[in-house]
Amino acid sequence: MTEHSAGNGRENTNIESLLKEGRVFKPSAAFSKGTEVGSPAAWEKLRAQASKSPVKFWEARAKELRWEKPWKKALDWKFPFAKWFVGGKLNASANCLDRHLEGPRANKAAIIWEGEPGEQRTLTYRQLHREVCVFANTLKKLGIRSGDRVAIYMPMVPEAAVAMLACARIGATHSVVFGGFSAEALRDRIQDAQAKAVITADGGWRKGAIVPLKAAVDDALAQCPGVETVVVLRRCGSVVSMKEGRDHWWQDALRGVGADCPPAALDAEHPLFILYTSGSTGKPKGVLHTTGGYLTHAAYSARLVFDLKENDVFWCTADIGWVTGHSYVVYGPLANGATVLMYEGAPMTPAPDRFWDLIERHRVTVFYTAPTAIRAFVRLGAEHVRKHDLSSLRLLGTVGEPINPEAWLWYRKEVGGDRCPIVDTWWQTETGGIMISPLPGATGTKPGSATKPLPGIDAAVVDKDGKPVPKGSGGLLVVRRPWPGMLRTVYGDPERYRAQYFSQIPGCYFTGDGARVDKDGYFWILGRVDDVINVAGHRLSTMEIESALVGHPRVAEAAVVGHPDELKGQGITAFVTLQTGVAAGPEMVDALKGAVAKAIGSIARPDVIRFADALPKTRSGKIMRRLLRDVAAGVKTSGDTTTLEDFAALAKLQPVQDE
């Protein structure tokens, strides 16, 4: 094999020595020179300033936004409930749009969009502003008011961003539901948020086929009597059913609607959005973010971490259905007046080089994607990358899961031409924005480490009592002080908010992740310590998948665990016991996988289903997940099994051939 054939990334035999050597990749002098925080000393100065008076530090960041009315009190912290910039008024859409119309940015591209079939559209800040104003007025015309919840179930088209910003403009709280979620998952989210309206499309393009979004909405709404209005974007031209009085075509609804829509001056703590995420129970949590603090954090982190410059073309590949899409496709970059690339479809459609082709043609400068995508590209081979001129790139980022050093090094070499720094960004739906990350002009990076908390963020690795663990030891990742982008509550369930995040470690926000800090103060994320699995960068609750499985009439009991997967980080193994007399077989496997896809979406479809006569349990009846994880991973179980109620159950777990 030649030096360049990075077919599966394994021929990088120098990786181990490189890791042993603990090599640090320093940003080049040329890169550092042009950045806001351009040296370790500048970073340290900012960090020291932030930790000396964190609230003041965040106030200075908040002042970079446009406020209609200044705040009276920067932080009101009644553990565990925070309010930031109390008494202040602002509008998120005005900060992302109107602010940029006053100078040369007015005619700058805000969104460059490409559909999967290849259509292209560019919206300047002025055009995007106009579309948002017209659509905001349309929402008002349809009866949507400040404080109403609006579900958005859209493909990756500019109108998805328009819908979000239009809601923000009038003070309606959006709840974006990922277009890959099933009708049932959509229904649950609409019901929980008591959404009054749904914004959707006839469909979206994915892998050469139409995702029938409107049909899923129709199914979901059969059980959502609270939804009075549905706006349907004509995207694919497919045939859909429209319910008289309830459903309106987007393109028709805005006919004759004016573009004069002053942004509502909203309280800093006005709910901007709800985003559902999986936790360690069967029911997804509605993570609530508010306006002033969230936008402060999103704007500051986008600028510092991605070093956003006037001429950048920033491409974050995340779907707007995830928090990454909220903070780094829409709010963060637009608040900075940046140009974003938005792409509708799948990475390998029509060919495995689609991403590189997009980067070359649109001269993308900053590229932010998920490790799982990088691993898929590694597997496909570097020849697809090398076909394209990627010299426009100057900075790379990753998010969503730990990145293995092999993939990191491949990314750096093949995509970044050994020239672009990589920012490995750790954060969560709950944190609103990036929490732990290099600053690209200042931080030396180590492959696989998210490096250090951003200035202003007090993250630490502690034991169960909240005491910091010694350097090098594993512990629990917490945040010890409130920060502006933090979630404010779980929608409709403050008790769950407290229990989930603030009851496990005294005085701290608990992230659910394990981590360790090395001798240089670098954070290494070790993964979830709760019943949450991370599949291809997407967070899934084992309990949620279990409840989908036991919802099947033939299933008696189910336990779901993650198993290591080279590509996706983790795969899903389900251990299932069937009702007596029901035969286990391939049809049952298909039926159960289908049941999960129906209840949640294809992303949650188990990779492996194993049938058992009984599940291994402790005397108190708790399923022994640790043991099942070992079985799923094919590891000989090492743990203590003396409390196993039925020791024989383990031996009876039969792998069923699968794909």
Which is nearer to ligand WT7, 95 or 511 (by Cβ)?
511
Which is nearer to ligand WT7, 566 or 640 (by Cβ)?
566
Q: Which of 272, 374, 399, 624 binds ligand WT7 (CB under 6 A)?
A: 399
Residue 397 in contact with ligand WT7, rule: CB under 6 A: no
C-alpha distances in Å from residue 64, one per residue of 155, 457, 548: 32, 18, 46
Q: Which of 114, 401, 414, 531 binds ligand WT7 (CB under 6 A)?
A: 401
Provide the minimum distance between the beta carbon of 424 and ligand WT7 in the complex, in angstroms, as a whole number.
5
- Does residue 603 contact residue 623 with C-beta atoms inside 8 Å? no
Provide the minimum distance between the beta carbon of 504 and ligand WT7 in the complex, in angstroms, as a whole number.
14
Report the C-alpha gap between 158 and 342 in whole angstroms. 8
Which is nearer to ligand WT7, 123 or 302 (by Cβ)?
302
Range 466-475, long-range pairs (CB < 8 A, 24+ positions)? 466/505, 466/506, 466/507, 466/508, 469/516, 471/517, 471/518, 471/519, 471/521, 472/516, 472/517, 472/518, 472/519, 473/516, 474/514, 474/515, 474/516, 474/526, 475/514, 475/515, 475/516
Q: Helix 183-193 vs helix 213-221: angle between axes, to the nearest 10 degrees?
A: 50
Which is nearer to ligand WT7, 115 or 512 (by Cβ)?
512
Q: Which of 35, 200, 296, 324 binds ligand WT7 (CB under 6 A)?
A: 324
Radius of gyration of the chain, Cα coordinates, nearest whole angstrom: 24
Provide the minimum distance between the beta carbon of 57 and ligand WT7 in the complex, in angstroms, as a whole number.
22
State whether residue 265 is helix, strand or coil.
coil
Q: Which of residues 194-213 bind ligand WT7 (CB under 6 A)?
A: none
Which is nearer to ligand WT7, 367 or 611 (by Cβ)?
367
Which is nearer to ligand WT7, 88 or 601 (by Cβ)?
601
Report the C-alpha gap between 13 and 21 in whole angstroms. 14
Q: State the amino acid at position 371 in one-letter form.
A: P
Provide the minimum distance between the beta carbon of 631 and ligand WT7 in the complex, in angstroms, as a whole number.
23
Q: Which of 80, 115, 400, 606 binds ligand WT7 (CB under 6 A)?
A: 400
Nearest to 155 by CA among 195, 125, 120, 199: 199
Site pattern 239..278 for ligand WT7 (x: CB under 6 A): --------------------------------------x-
- Does residue 374 contact residue 403 with C-beta atoms inside 8 Å? yes
Which is nearer to ligand WT7, 362 or 412 (by Cβ)?
412
Report the C-alpha gap between 196 and 142 in whole angstroms. 11
Q: Which of 128, 185, 323, 649 binds ligand WT7 (CB under 6 A)?
A: 323
Which is nearer to ligand WT7, 85 or 510 (by Cβ)?
510
- How many of the chain's residues bind ligand WT7 (CB under 6 A)? 22
What token pair was written down for 13? 């035999």
Q: Which stretch binds ligand WT7 (CB under 6 A): 38-46, 183-191, 347-355, 419-427?
A: 419-427
Provide the minimum distance between the beta carbon of 61 and ligand WT7 in the complex, in angstroms, as a whole number.
20
Q: Is the peptide bond before 506 cis (omega within 30 degrees of 0)?
A: no
Contacts of 498 (CB under 8 A, 6+ apart): 80
**Could you identify the residue written with the tokens 């499985």?**
549
Which is nearer to ligand WT7, 350 or 527 (by Cβ)?
527
Q: Which of 88, 286, 292, 402 binds ligand WT7 (CB under 6 A)?
A: 402
Q: Which of residues 528-547 bind ligand WT7 (CB under 6 A)?
A: 528, 534, 539
- Does residue 79 contact residue 502 with C-beta atoms inside 8 Å? yes
Report the C-alpha gap between 595 and 577 in whole angstroms. 15
Q: Which of residues 421-480 bind ligand WT7 (CB under 6 A)?
A: 424-429, 450
**Could you identify the residue written with the tokens 């709404």?**
221
Which is nearer to ligand WT7, 229 or 425 (by Cβ)?
425
Provide the minimum distance between the beta carbon of 8 and ligand WT7 in the complex, in angstroms, as a whole number.
22
DSSP 378: H
Provide the minimum distance between the beta carbon of 528 and ligand WT7 in the complex, in angstroms, as a whole number.
5
Q: Which of residues 536-595 bind ligand WT7 (CB under 6 A)?
A: 539
Report the C-alpha gap between 534 and 89 in whole angstroms. 37
Q: Which stretch binds ligand WT7 (CB under 6 A): 135-143, 184-192, 400-408, 645-653?
A: 400-408
Which is nearer to ligand WT7, 247 or 424 (by Cβ)?
424
Q: Which of residues 486-525 bind ligand WT7 (CB under 6 A)?
A: 511-513, 525
DSSP 264: P
Report the C-alpha gap between 126 and 388 in whole angstroms. 32
- Sites of contact with ligand WT7 (CB under 6 A): 277, 323-324, 399-402, 424-429, 450, 511-513, 525, 527-528, 534, 539
